[in-house]
Amino acid sequence: MNEGEIHKAGQSIAALGWISELISTKDTSMLRSIKQLYGKAIGTAEGEIGHVKDFYFNDQHWVVRYVIVDTGSCLSGRSVLISPHAFGDFHQDGDCLLVNLTREQIENSPAIDSHKPVSRQYEEEYYRYYGWPFYWEGCGMWGMVGAPSTYLMPSEEEIGGNDHDRDDPRLRSTQALNGYHIQTSEGAIGRVTDFMMDDKSWAIRHLVVETGHWFSGKEIAISPKQIDRISYEESKVFVKVSKEAILETPEYQVPSLGAAYHDTRNFD
């Protein structure tokens, strides 16, 4: 076997290991309330390094790409981005979410200005720093596959890719979207109060909407597939659902943290 064949074999073995890990955990995913994760401590094997401040998600694919961590006095008070790659199987130690990084790694990671959009140039620097595969390379939700993984995969130069999201990452803040009005063709029907996230793929499965004084004050769930567009100028989420359909939607009960469950209902 020549050097080129050995290299390709190594890539195949890594890919199979990655896919095997995902298959083994596919059926154990849980839905997590993002609102309940705000303020949760983030910890390494060396101790806590800050708390959850916000989440950045892609508003085309509806996937959480980063957790924004406020390090307070731990790391000079700066905010840092933590990719879902670092959370493994979403381990918790009491009220602390554990990441598979060292304090030094996080402290020396590329600095981010949370008041400015995340550029693709920054993301490339960030992913190279940690040695993670680019999520925008490949046709899966996380590059070559559908969930973040600890496996290191070939770089973009080695695997190529389809360059999706390259020019416009379209990363948005879940905190900023909180309170946006849900708009049907017949008028407003409520406001966004929460997001339910799959803790394996980190995909946002549905938005929790409080109907308030519109319809008896119940909370309902709306799938991202039911969203037509988001107007950030008007603070509105336009949906492809009628008011009548909203009235017939069953009330949604957000599970308490620690009581997350596998939701098999179809919100499409």
For 54-91, write each residue's pLDDT tens digit.
999 999 899 999 999 999 877 777 889 999 999 987 87
Helix (H, G, I), strand (E, B) or coil at 209: strand
Distance between CA atoms of residues 81 and 240, nearest Å? 33
Q: Is the pTM of this model over 0.85?
A: no
For 152-209, write each residue's pLDDT tens digit.
555 444 444 444 444 455 799 999 999 999 999 998 889 999 999 999 999 999 999 9
For the chain, state the CA radius of gyration. 20
Nearest to 56 by CA among 168, 175, 146: 175
